Structure 1
Amino acid sequence: MKKRILMRASVSPFAVHKPIDVICQKVIGNNTGNLLFAYSMTRTLYTEDVEIDFLADKEVAHGKVQAEYINENYDYLVLPMANSFRKQFMQCMGMWTSIIEKLTIPVVVTGIGIQMPYEPDVTEEHIYDECAKKFITAVLNHSASVGVRGAITESYLKHLGFGSNEIDVTGCPSFAMFGPGLTVRDKKPLTNESAVCVTGSVANPVNFKEFMIKNRELLPNYYFMPQFVDDLRLMYLGIPLPITNDSQVLYPHLINDEVFVNDRARFFINLPSILEFNKNIDFNYGTRIHGAVGSILSGVPSFVFPTDARIRELAEYHNVPNMPASEVDENTDIFDIYEKTDFSQVNDGHEQRFWHFVDFLNANGLPHIYQDKNRTVVPFDEKIKNIEFEGPIHSLTTCPPNEMIERIAFGNELLMKEQKKAVDTLNEDKKELKAEIKGLKSEQRKLNKRLNWYDNSSAARIAASRVKHKIVK
Structure 2
Amino acid sequence: MTRILLRAAQDPAAVLKPMRSAERMGANAGNLLYANGVVRSLAAHSNRLETGAFDAHLVDRESWIRKINQRYDHYVVPLANAFRYKNGTSLEAMTALVRGLDIPVTVVGVGAQATITAGSEEALTIRMGKTGGRKLPSAADSARHDDRVRDFVEAVLEKSASFGVRGPITQSYLVGLGLPENRIDVIGCPSVFTWGPDHRVRTDDDRPLTQDSAVSMNIDYRVRGIGPVIERNAELYPGLTSPSQDLNSARMIITGEDQFDMTRRDPRTPVHTGHPLYHEGRLLFFPNPWGWIASLSRMQFVFGNRLHGNIAAILGGTPAHLLAHDSRTLELADYHAIPHSKLHEHEAPPTAAELWERTDYTAFNEAYPARFRTYIDFLHRNDLVTAFDGRNRLRRFDRSIRRGQATQPVVSRRS
Normalised by the length of structure 1, the TM-score is: 0.79
Aligned-pair CA distance for 1:53: 2.2
| Distance in 2 (alpha carbons) for counterparts of 1:343 and 1:394 | 30
| Distance in 1 (alpha carbons) for counterparts of 2:244 and 2:393 | 36
Aligned-pair CA distance for 1:291: 0.6
| Distance in 1 (alpha carbons) for counterparts of 2:12 and 2:245 | 17
| Distance in 2 (alpha carbons) for counterparts of 1:110 and 1:375 | 20
| More contact order relative to length (CA 8 Å, sep ≥ 6) | 2
SS at match of 2:216: strand
* CA-to-aligned-CA distance 1:303-332 (integer Å, 9 cap, x gap): 001111111111111111111112233264
Aligned-pair CA distance for 1:389: 6.1
Cα pair distance change 1:381/1:261, threshold 3 Å: same
For 2:9, the equivalent position in structure 1 comes to 10
| Distance in 2 (alpha carbons) for counterparts of 1:180 and 1:28 | 27
Cα pair distance change 1:377/1:171, threshold 3 Å: closer
For 1:85, the equivalent position in structure 2 comes to 83
| Distance in 2 (alpha carbons) for counterparts of 1:59 and 1:142 | 18
CA contact (8 A) 2:291 2:407 kept: yes
CA contact (8 A) 1:241 1:247 kept: no
| Distance in 1 (alpha carbons) for counterparts of 2:28 and 2:295 | 18
CA contact (8 A) 1:238 1:254 kept: no
- Cα RMSD after superposing both structures: 2.0
* CA-to-aligned-CA distance 1:115-144 (integer Å, 9 cap, x gap): 111111224352411111110001001111
| Distance in 1 (alpha carbons) for counterparts of 2:168 and 2:262 | 33
Cα pair distance change 1:296/1:256, threshold 3 Å: same
Letter in 1 for 2:217: V
| Distance in 2 (alpha carbons) for counterparts of 1:246 and 1:322 | 28
* Higher CA-based Rg: 1
| Distance in 1 (alpha carbons) for counterparts of 2:404 and 2:313 | 22
Aligned residue among 127, 141, 148 for 1:131 = 148
Counterparts of 1:58-97 in structure 2, within 5 Å, are 58-63=55-60, 65-97=63-95
Aligned-pair CA distance for 1:245: 4.8
Counterparts of 1:287-302 in structure 2, within 5 Å, are 287-302=305-320
Counterparts of 1:270-281 in structure 2, within 5 Å, are 270-281=288-299
| Distance in 2 (alpha carbons) for counterparts of 1:326 and 1:52 | 43
CA contact (8 A) 2:65 2:97 kept: yes
Counterparts of 1:351-430 in structure 2, within 5 Å, are 351-372=369-390, 377-385=394-402, 390-397=407-414
Aligned residue among 176, 190, 211 for 1:192 = 211
* CA-to-aligned-CA distance 1:249-280 (integer Å, 9 cap, x gap): 31123223221222112111212101221221
Q: Does 1:116 align with 2:135?
A: no
Aligned-pair CA distance for 1:145: 0.5
Aligned residue among 311, 322, 337 for 2:340 = 322
Aligned residue among 44, 48, 55 for 2:41 = 44
Aligned residue among 146, 151, 171 for 2:168 = 151
SS at match of 2:341: coil
Aligned-pair CA distance for 1:209: 1.6
Aligned residue among 146, 160, 163 for 2:177 = 160
Of Structure 1 and Structure 2, the greater helix share is in: 1
| Distance in 1 (alpha carbons) for counterparts of 2:75 and 2:60 | 17
CA contact (8 A) 2:165 2:188 kept: yes
| Distance in 2 (alpha carbons) for counterparts of 1:388 and 1:204 | 30
For 2:99, the equivalent position in structure 1 comes to 101
Letter in 2 for 1:204: V
CA contact (8 A) 1:37 1:80 kept: yes
Letter in 2 for 1:142: K
Aligned residue among 221, 225, 232 for 1:214 = 232
Percent identity, aligned pairs only, is 32
SS at match of 1:98: helix
Cα pair distance change 1:391/1:361, threshold 3 Å: same
| Distance in 2 (alpha carbons) for counterparts of 1:50 and 1:376 | 9
Counterparts of 1:333-348 in structure 2, within 5 Å, are 333-348=351-366
Aligned-pair CA distance for 1:76: 0.4
For 2:25, the equivalent position in structure 1 comes to 28
**Paired residue total:** 393
Letter in 2 for 1:68: R
Letter in 2 for 1:396: R
SS at match of 2:217: strand
Single out whichever of 48-57 and 384-393 deviates more from structure 2. 384-393
Cα pair distance change 1:162/1:355, threshold 3 Å: same
Letter in 2 for 1:315: A
For 2:267, the equivalent position in structure 1 comes to 249
Single out whichever of 122-131 and 232-241 deviates more from structure 2. 122-131
CA contact (8 A) 2:323 2:341 kept: yes
For 2:129, the equivalent position in structure 1 comes to none
CA contact (8 A) 2:168 2:331 kept: yes
| Distance in 2 (alpha carbons) for counterparts of 1:86 and 1:305 | 20
Cα pair distance change 1:375/1:102, threshold 3 Å: closer
Aligned-pair CA distance for 1:390: 3.8
Structure 1 residues without counterparts, runs of 5 or longer: 399-473
Aligned-pair CA distance for 1:202: 1.8
For 1:268, the equivalent position in structure 2 comes to 286
Cα pair distance change 1:385/1:22, threshold 3 Å: closer
Letter in 1 for 2:124: V
For 2:132, the equivalent position in structure 1 comes to none
Cα pair distance change 1:245/1:315, threshold 3 Å: farther
